[in-house]
Amino acid sequence: MFYRENGQFKTTYRADQQILPIAQDRRFMLALLLVAFVAVPMGASDYLFRAILIPFLIFSLAAVGVNILVGFCGQISLGSGAFMAVGAYAAYNFFVRIEGMPLLVALLLGGVSSMLFGMVFGLPSLRVKGLYLAVATLAAQFFADWMFLRVQWFTNNSPSGSVSVSNLQVFGLSLESPVAKYLFCLSLLAVIALLAKNLVRGAVGREWMAIRDMDVAAAVIGIRPMYAKLSAFAVSSFIVGVAGALWGFIYLGAWEPAAFSVDQSFKLLFMVIIGGMGSIMGSFFGAAFIVVLPIFLSQFLPALAGSVGINISTAGVSHAELMVFGGLIVWFLIVEPHGLAKLWSIGKQKLRLWPFPH
Amino acid sequence: MAFFLETLLGGLMAGMLYSLVALGFVLIFKASGVFNFAQGAMVLFAALAMARFAEWIPLYLGIANPIVANVLAFGGAGVVMFVVAWIIERLVLRHLVNQEGTTLLMATLGITYFMEGLGQTLFGSSIYKIDIGMPKDPVMILESTFEGGILINKEDLYAALIAAALVALLSVFFQKTATGRALRAVADDHQAAQSIGIPLNRIWVIVWCVAGVVALVAGMIWGSKLGVQFSLTTVALRALPVVILGGLTSVPGAIVGGLIIGVGEKLSEVYLGPFVGGGIEIWFAYVLALGFLLIRPQGLFGEKIIDRV
Amino acid sequence: QSKEQFIPVLSYRTGPYAPNGVPWANGYVDYLKLVNARGGVNGVKLSFEECETGYDTARSVECYERLKSKGASFVQPLSTGATFAITEKAPADKISVVTVGYGRSESADGSVFKWNFPIAGTYWVAADAIMQAIAKKEGGFDKLKGKKISLVYHDSPFGKEPIPLLQERAAMHGFTLTLLPVTAPGVEQKATWLQVRQNRPDYVVLWGWGIMNSTAIKEAQATGYPREKMYGVWWAGAEPDVKDVAEGAKGYNAVTMQHGAEPQSKLVKDVMAMVHDKGQGTGPKEEVGQVLYMRGAMSAMLGVEGIRAAQERYGKGKVMTGEQVRWGLENLNLTQPKLDALGFAGVMRPISTSCADHMGASWARIHTWDGSKWQFTSDWLQADEQILKPLVKTTAAKYATEKKLTPRTPADCQS
Amino acid sequence: MSKKIGDVILDVNNISLRFGGVKALTDISFNVREHEIRAIIGPNGAGKSSMLNCINGVYAPQDGAITFRGQAFKYMNSHQVATMGIGRTFQNLALFKGMSVLDNIMSGRNLKIKSNILLQALRMGPAEREEIQHREAVERIIDFLEIQAYRKTPVGQLPYGLQKRVDLGRALAMEPQVLLLDEPMAGMNVEEKQDMCRFVLDVNDEFGTTVVLIEHDMGVVMDISDRVVVLDYGKKIGDGTPDEVRNNPDVISAYLGTSH
Amino acid sequence: MEPKNIVLNVNGIEVIYNHVILVLKGVSLQVPEGGIVAILGGNGAGKTTTLRAVSNLLAGERGAVTKGSIELRGERIENLSPADLVQRGVVQVMEGRHCFAHLTIEENLLTGGYTRKSKAEVAANLEKVYAYFPRLKTRRTSQAAYTSGGEQQMCAIGRALMANPSMVLLDEPSMGLAPQIVEEVFEIVKDLNTKERVTFLLAEQNTNMALKYADYGYIMESGRVVMDGAAEDLRTNEDVKEFYLGVGGGERKSFKDVKSYKRRKRWLA
Ligand SMILES: Nc1ncnc2c1ncn2[C@@H]1O[C@H](COP(=O)(O)OP(=O)(O)OP(=O)(O)O)[C@@H](O)[C@H]1O
Ligand SMILES: Nc1ncnc2c1ncn2[C@@H]1O[C@H](COP(=O)(O)OP(=O)(O)OP(=O)(O)O)[C@@H](O)[C@H]1O
Ligand SMILES: CC(C)C[C@H](N)C(=O)O
Ligand SMILES: [Mg+2]
Ligand SMILES: [Mg+2]
């Protein structure tokens, strides 16, 4: 009833090609942006910003990047952690070695470095496919882990291999307060996500998806697999690299290679799959699921157990958390194998028919 | 020279141990096209079950003979793995017939978390011991040929033998029986397999159960080497290049891959490592596997990747 | 209920490091319970909340943020990685980072690291104590000339901490130091030990954590390297590291964080009587008094004493703020009678911190596994000031320039 | 029908293709003239699809050469073939399953897209204009194929017959000079086949597209094609107008049987 | 038709894909023992969906029967697994071939005999299939993925026959087959039907052939049965002739002369 597109006729293709062709969606998005940019900064607590919203934003960004490679172009990647690491360490080096380097530029240069690194490790994808490609990307992962531990130059000769940054500012504004950090990440995310969305709904995006779905047929209609795959690696690792730099600079402040370990790579892949492969919005859902849910569970479960009078040990809570989290993943997949984004769109479709079931 | 041989042998035996874990991946992939991310968790779970049973059986049943206790514990853990397989089929796989590989991969991730939580809840999270009487002290061979002899780790040797036997058994099963063929059919196309009457449900229980037992053997051997605790799951990551190098669908591939990776890894660490500060073996293993893949993209013994229009 | 002082507890009871994380957390929490059972800190009860980090830096940061907002005044991350990250955040939040026996070694310099407290010992202390023990065994540092020592270390900032100190010592005494990194978590060390077998070092220094330790000892056994010649850091010298190797680990040495396993100490008896027997114990009774349990208890005690010291100055029986507790931690003066009263008699030596010295003591001992338990096998060893001091100074100064910090002046120390 | 058949545009010379022991094609030669509809028929496994794959650069024949517009190639890669204006549909649906109908057909126009990746990301000015202009072209094809209602449906969910249409639509979107169709009418009923024939004839008429058609429905082949090549076991056994072929005894015994 | 020898009774089923797409809107049909029943209809009418509903293969497509009932010899079968159905003799030949790509043709066929326990029986069936499709015999050692479209289609049909079914659901068996083979396939159907009393339910686009061999036909349009009747009645029906047989108004029209393709259908308005 409330979600009808009846009567909304598109008279031009331009109108039909908008990101959100349906008026309700546009209104919803506008409201969402308003909430994110205005309401949240006014209302949220420090903890919410630092421990939930900022990591959520950064991981969403990274997941958008990974989704481009894995979801849109179909190239399995377990090296996202490495791309994040390259982004972070490269940005760090630009930032501390070049006097007066603006933060934003350093972050973007981090992305560019990660892009180059990603393209090198993307080369095997021209020959190796599917799960087998995971080996190439894992090689990137472990190599990066090792490189940042072993090559002291990258860590500005800090003996421990751990580096840190402080006194961050953009355009002369200090980035110390959580709200500032949040708004900074949010703006970057909004801009990059919009650009990414434009890419995936345009010609390049179609090339990626074509390669993903059926590479031989794609070649026959004139798509060059090499160009498509490497461009996906490039765009993806650029975004992931920027996210990595944010993770180091904004969230952690100080980090060591372990901050970008293979666990991180897996986590990102999971976000993409659970959120929805080939959906920019899915990346957000996935990030929320993987980042926020465990935190939520760890606070909610003890409360729940307490309220029914059970007193589980702290270890018990952690274990229960793992079980519930695992169970939820399976449950969501059974309800909708194509991820949360698909679930969302089916929900909307139902709403469209409402109150009729079909 | 002696040292080179020692390294080589060490690599071979480490490789066999990887093969054992790799085998679990191959089994499930071959039989259902699922890349089972939970294999590491299954190894841990099985090992935990066995370690705790071996501890509890003498305690509660009063069986003092360690051999009997260990056999019973192994049996008990085997039953546990069967139950696990059955539950996974019932609650997860059955509902995801005909879904894409990535979806199934993700489901196995859910299973991983669940089993990690459950395993630690049921069996605890300290270090436990599996003592199946493996000899721990080294022996020297060829002492007459080389000065100081060549050191052999007996425990590794036994473990390698067990792994080899298991692999031989499973290869025969896959190559020679009708069930083996049916499993391959299922991996190719769930729906078509169903349409000709292959009972997916039963097949999956069987395969996961076999994989569970393989995990148990792997867990037992690794557990007796390392002690049973959470980090056992990470051996899965070491086994990954093995699986892929050998070919995701090949049982013998798991062995050959294991040997190549084991040897390559150890030689690289020992001979190249010192020049670049060490710690290279893990990425070297992956790069080595990648090198092979560039020549054969489906792994050494994997089925050819079909792309046809 | 403003009469409660909140203590955050970052712990790991799941995951790869759980076997070592659990006993530490049990000791930590039990001690807090004991303080409450004894009536609190001058009447101020302690409230606490545990947060599971899984020894993961990002999750530790989340825990830190969460518990911070509940009114934390100090935090003990129990991970060097997390310490690095939290160090950057703590000054702004006015929360002290207490790292008992770990963390960044240069943070002993309180004039640069205002909010860091590596009380009772850093990794440089540990490494130096090990070197002294080895030298003693050989009959003096001069006997080390030409010897070979291998460092088998966890490939992470934690594992790399001792390297500068060991290199310094190597240069001084003319032994060669070989570095053998082990990729975390350290379940596969065959290549490492093959190298040990190839080099035949005179001593192996083991800088591990978690399963890496027992694996290393087992590999040593499998390659026939004498365990007597192995010296572990204090995080590689507890029961979980050797328990399941049992006989195989006999003779293996580790430096201790002053204390070892102290089942006979008064503290343990108090915990038993006032916590466990009331049914409020946190872990299994048998493990009370083991090495990591004691370390947890001692860490908690040092934090609590910081609060007590702060109360002495800012008002007894009051809840202290982060800044006040910081002052307390900086002006600890745990004399022997005080320690005795707390139940730490024989467990540790007096500690007193100051603005310049956030560590407060640099004593350690060696204990050796006899196949079933840890036994002390050395006298008290003190890290060599001559070596430690300049190292701390220069490294801290480098940090200060990088961060554009001006070291605190003596005047600043008064606040 | 007033149709001007031109010169030879595509010339296949002595092509042989083997897969291990299987001889998929043996010494095949034939040519295709501009603007004609050229059918390839033959029993199952005769090598028809393989022939298209050779022209397309999907397979590399061991011997022989293919001449397109006077340029001879031993092997061309698929991208080159596409840029030269050869489009193709597939026998075993090779659609991009996860994409909508619209995107599938749009992807057929990718070769014509000029704006670079940065412009596309910003989607301003020329990039957007271009996108709209191609969209218009694609909409004409969608209308033409009568699949308006499915525009936004993922092709994987379409019934088989419609998927075939989308496949054709994608090839048409390339605006090729030569269109290779591999059994475009399989799985359609007579009415739908009539529609399909109409499409093919219209394309051929209006745009002057040359068509190479593989089809098992002899009614269709005989009615709409100008010349027919017949393959059997990888060999050419007949070539000529439908009438010639229909009466060729070799063709009758190998393929047509008596009923046609 | 006598109710007592009805093997398959589909009663007013509704099918929904993905919880939202309603595809079958109350389809009923009956298949008598030993009969050949054809389902006809344009692209997207719901033929495949109907067959999937019967063989219980909907789940894998995320579809579900939400209304109505399906009975096999009086037994409700909606909750059986596809394997159970094969045990009861019902086998489906899926649309679009679905051969096991990595298995050879012969392995594909042997897998088809999975439910047959007797080795001799499997061997005999294999010979029978090779006799029906000699082409398969020559290609027996090739991996199915590398055979031609028609060969794969033969393989799919042959594979189903390996199970010695009592009822076969054929989804577009003639697709991609050369005309002679199409005829052979229908001869095989006839053969099995008369000699071995195998019942057939087939969805077919080749209306001509289908109505020639079938006893009874159902015509579907957008998820509903719009017409049914004995095969010869349908064959002579004017609409059917026009739209499905291409012989509206007497002579067969040349494909070349069909002028307008902008006609839409008909019986339901
Ligand atoms: N990639 C390949 N590898 C091995 N054999 C192949 C390959 N491609 C085709 N063949 C074989 O070549 C022969 C010709 O196949 P092709 O697909 O060209 O036949 P077709 O004439 O299109 O038949 P249909 O009408 O059944 O589609 C077949 O026997 C097939 O098995
Ligand atoms: N997996 C699916 N998910 C969603 N919708 C589907 C799915 N499969 C089929 N449909 C829809 O169901 C309707 C009927 O499809 P079905 O495949 O049964 O038609 P059909 O009669 O077999 O057509 P054809 O002759 O082209 O094979 C179509 O509108 C199609 O879009
Ligand atoms: C318990 C620990 C603090 C030791 C640990 N390995 C570290 O990170 O330093
Ligand atoms: Mg063909
Ligand atoms: Mg159909």
Q: Is the pLDDT of residue A100 over 70?
A: yes
B179-235 pLDDT tens trace: 888 888 998 899 999 999 999 888 899 899 999 999 999 999 999 888 898 888 888
- Is the Cβ–Cβ distance between A239 and A118 less than 8 Å? no
Minimum-distance CB partner of A213 among D98, D111, D132: D98
DSSP string of D178-240?
A: EEEEESTTTT--HHHHHHHHHHHHHHHHHS--EEEEE-S-HHHHHHH-SEEEEEETTEEEEEE
Out of A7-16, A151-160, B89-98, C148-157, pick the least confident: A7-16
Which residues from chain D sit within 8 angstroms of residue B309, using beta carbons?
Answer: 53, 58, 90-92, 94
Distance CA A259, CA A148 (A): 11
CA of C296, nearest ligand number: 3
Average confidence (pLDDT) over C370-391: 92
Which chains, if any, share at least 3 CB pairs under 8 A with chain A? B, C, D, E
Neighbouring C-alpha atoms within 13 Å toward the C-beta of E259: 1
pLDDT tens digit sequence for E255-265:
777 665 444 44
Pairwise CA distance, residues D224 & D201, whole Å: 8
The answer to whether residue D124 neighbours chain A at the CB level (below 8 Å) is no
Q: What is the pLDDT of residues B150-162, one digit of tens each?
A: 888 888 888 888 8
What is the average pLDDT across C265-270? 95
pLDDT at position C2 over 60: no
Structure confidence at residue B216 (pLDDT): 95
The CA–CA distances, whole Å, from B246 to A352, C117, D34 equal 51, 51, 51
CA distance C331 to C110: 11
Does residue C209 surpass a pLDDT of 50? yes
| Residue bearing tokens 């590989």 | B101
E-strand ranges in A188-277 read 254-255
Q: Is it true that the peptide bond before C185 is cis, omega within 30 degrees of 0?
A: yes
> Ligand 1, atom 22: nearest CA belongs to which residue?
D49
Whole-number pLDDT of residue E209: 87
Kindly indicate the confidence band of residue D87, based on its pLDDT and cuts at 50, 70 and 90: very high
Distance E14 CA to ligand 2 centre (A): 13
A358 pLDDT band (50/70/90 cuts)? Answer: low
Mean pLDDT score of chain B: 89
**Tens digits of residue pLDDT in D188-221:** 888 888 888 888 898 898 888 999 999 998 889 9
pLDDT of residue E248: 61
Q: Write phi, then psi, for E68 (nearest 5 degrees).
A: 85, 180
Q: Which of helix, strand or coil describes residue C77?
A: coil
Is residue B198 within 8 A of residue B185, CB to CB? The reply is: yes
Given this model, what pLDDT does residue B123 score? Answer: 92
Q: For residue D157, give Cα distances in angstroms to D98, D101, D167, E56, E62.
A: 9, 10, 14, 18, 11
Q: What is the pLDDT of residue B2?
A: 83
User: What DSSP string describes C311-326?
Assistant: HHHH-TTSPPPHHHHH
Residue E117 corresponds to which tokens in the numbers above? 């326990």
Using one digit for the tens of pLDDT, what is the confidence trace for A212-229? 999 889 999 999 999 999
C-alpha–C-alpha distance, residues A70 and A286, integer Å = 14
Please tell me whether the peptide bond between A355 and the residue prior to it is cis, using omega within 30 degrees of 0. yes
Q: Token pair of C275, please?
A: 């916590």
Helix (H, G, I), strand (E, B) or coil at C9: strand
Which of C209, C211, C212, C257 for mutating ligand 3's site (highest number of atoms within 8 Å of CB)? C209
> What's residue A316's pLDDT?
84
CA distance A75 to C406: 50
In angstroms, the separation between the Cα of residue B266 and the nearest Cα of chain C is 5
Residues in chain B closer than 8 A to A132 (CB atoms): 244, 248, 293, 297-299, 302, 305
pLDDT for residue D123 is more than 90: no
pLDDT for C6-30, tens place per residue? 999 999 998 889 999 999 999 999 9
pLDDT at A209 over 80: yes
Ordered DSSP codes for A51-85: IIIHHHHHHHHHHHHHIIIIIIT----S-HHHHHH
**Ligand 1 atom at shortest distance from the alpha carbon of E151:** 26
C96-98 and C74-75 as β-strands: parallel, antiparallel, unpaired?
parallel
> Ligand 2: which of D100, D148, D160, D191 to mutate, most ligand atoms within 8 Å of CB?
D160
SS (H, E, C) chain E: CCHHHEEEEEEEEEEEECCCEEEEEEEEEEEECCCEEEEEECCCCCHHHHHHHHHCCCHHHCEEEEEEEEEECCEECCCCCHHHHHHCCEEEECCCCCCCCCCEHHHHHHHHCCCCCCHHHHHHHHHHHHHHCHHHHHCCCCEHHHCCHHHHHHHHHHHHHCCCCCEEEEECCCCCCCHHHHHHHHHHHHHHHHHHCCEEEEECCCHHHHHHHCCEEEEEECCEEEEEEEHHHHHHCHHHHHHHHCCCCCCCCCCCCCCCCCCCCCCCC
Q: Does E94 touch chain B (CB under 8 A)?
A: yes
Query: What number of residues does chain A have?
Result: 358
Please determine, for the modelled complex, whether the ipTM score is greater than 0.85.
Answer: yes
Side-chain half-sphere CA neighbours of C71 within 13 A:
12
C-alpha distance from residue B68 to each of A122, B74, B183 (Å): 54, 10, 35
Proportion of chain E above pLDDT 90, given as a percent: 60
CB-nearest to B195 from E61, E82, E110 is E82
Residue among D148, D144, D112, D147 at smallest CA distance from D131: D112
Helix, coil or strand: residue D159:
coil
Helix, strand, coil % in chain A, rounded to nearest 5: 75, 0, 25
Residue D258: per-residue pLDDT: 59
Long-range contacts formed by A45-48: CB under 8 A, 24+ apart: A45/C69, A46/A178, A46/C65, A46/C69, A47/C65, A47/C66, A47/C68, A47/C69
- Closest listed residue to residue D217, CA positions, set E171, E254, E244, E176: E176
- Report which protein residue has its CA nearest ligand 3's atom 6: C209
Ligand 3 proximity of C80 Cβ (cutoff 6 Å)? yes
List of residues 6+ apart from B57 with CB closer than 8 A: B63, B69, B72, B73, B76
pLDDT tens-digit series, residues D37-49: 999 999 998 999 9
pLDDT tier for residue A7 given thresholds of 50, 70 and 90: low
In sequence order, what are the residues at sequence separation of 6 or more whose Cβ sits closer than 8 angstroms to the Cβ of residue C371?
C246, C247, C249, C250
Q: Which ligand ends up closest to the CA of E144?
A: 1
What gap in Å lies between CA E214 and CA E202, rounded to an integer?
9
Which amino acid residue places its CA nearest to atom 7 of ligand 1?
E146
- Nearest CA among C322, C303, C382 for reference residue C100: C303
* Residues of chain D positioned with their CB less than 8 A from the CB of B191: none
Task: Report phi then psi at C256, rounded to 5.
Answer: -115, 155
User: What is the C-alpha R_g of chain E?
Assistant: 19
Task: Say how far apart CA B10 and CA D182 lie, in whole Å.
Answer: 57
C225 lines ligand 3 (CB under 6 A): no
- Calculate ∠ Cα C258-C263-C267, nearest 5°: 75
Distance from C-alpha of B258 to C-alpha of B14, rounded to nearest angstrom: 8
Q: Measure the CA–CA gap between B51 and B229, rounded to whole angstroms.
A: 10
How far is Cα A118 from Cα A110, in angstroms, rounded to an integer? 12
Q: Determine which of D1, D53, D95, D191 to mutate to test the interface with E (most E C-beta atoms within 10 Å).
A: D191
Q: Measured in Å, how far apart are chain B's first and last C-alpha atoms?
A: 53
Query: Does the pLDDT of residue E123 top 90, yes or no?
Result: yes
Place of tokens 């698929």: D78
How far apart are the CA of A337 and the nearest CA of chain E, in angstroms? 9
Q: How far apart are CA A202 and CA A199, in angstroms?
A: 5
CB < 8 Å to D46, chain E:
148
CB-neighbour burial class of residue D158 (10 A; exposed 0-12, middle 13-18, buried 19+):
buried
Q: Are C98 and C299 contacting, i.e. CB atoms less than 8 angstroms apart?
A: yes
| A6 band by pLDDT with thresholds 50, 70 and 90 | low
Whose tokens are 């079950």? That residue is B49
Does residue E126 sit at the B interface (CB-CB below 8 Å)? no
What is the position in ligand 2's atom list of the atom closest to the CA of D163?
26
- pLDDT of A87 reads 97
The answer to whether E141 and E123 have CB atoms below 8 angstroms apart is: no
Q: How confident is the model at residue E194 (pLDDT cuts 50, 70, 90)?
A: very high
**Contact across the interface for B234 and C187, Cβ inside 8 Å:** yes
List of chain D residues whose C-beta atoms are within 8 Å of the C-beta of residue E259: 198
Q: Does A221 touch chain D (CB under 8 A)?
A: yes
Quote the minimal CA–CA distance from C17 to chain B in Å. Answer: 8
At residue A130 the predicted structure's pLDDT band, cuts being 50, 70 and 90, is confident
Closest CA to C133 of C397, C368, C398, C401: C368
| Alpha-carbon dihedral sign for residues B291, B294, B297, B300 | negative
DSSP D47-86: SHHHHHHHHHTSS--SEEEEEETTEEES---HHHHHHTTE
φ, ψ for residue D140 (rounded to 5)?
-60, -40
| Closest residue of chain B to E95, computed from CA coordinates | B192
* Of C288 and D20, more confident: C288
Q: Which of E152, E255, E256, E264 to mutate to test the interface with D (most CBs of D within 10 A)?
A: E255
Site to probe by mutation for ligand 1, drawn from D25, D50, D58 as the one with most ligand atoms within 8 Å of Cβ, is D50
Q: Compute the distance between CA of residue D189 and CA of residue C234 in angstroms, rounded to an integer.
A: 81
Protein residue with its CA nearest to atom 4 in ligand 3: C79
Q: What is the pLDDT of residue E2?
A: 47
Residue of D nearest to B100 (CA): D98
Would you state the pLDDT for residue D192?
82
Q: Which of B95, B106, B282 sits opposite A273 (nearest CB)?
A: B106
Whether A209 contacts D99, CB under 8 Å = yes
Cα A21 → chain centroid: 24
What ligand is nearest to the CA atom of residue D189? 2
Chains in contact with E, where contact means 3 or more Cβ–Cβ distances below 8 Å, are: A, B, D
CA angle B153, B157, B160 (to 5 degrees): 140
- In DSSP notation, C10-71 reads EE--SSTTHHHHHHHHHHHHHHHHHHHHTTTBTTBEEEEEEEE-TT-HHHHHHHHHHHHTTT
Q: Which residues surround ligand 5, an ion (CB under 5 A)?
A: D 160; E 48, 95
Look at B94-98, B130-134, C214-218 and tell me which has the smallest mean pLDDT.
B130-134
pLDDT at position E250 is 58
Q: What is the pLDDT of residue B267?
A: 94
For chain C, the average pLDDT equals 92
E244–D190 C-beta distance less than 8 A: yes
The alpha-carbon gap from C157 to the nearest alpha carbon of chain A, in Å, equals: 4
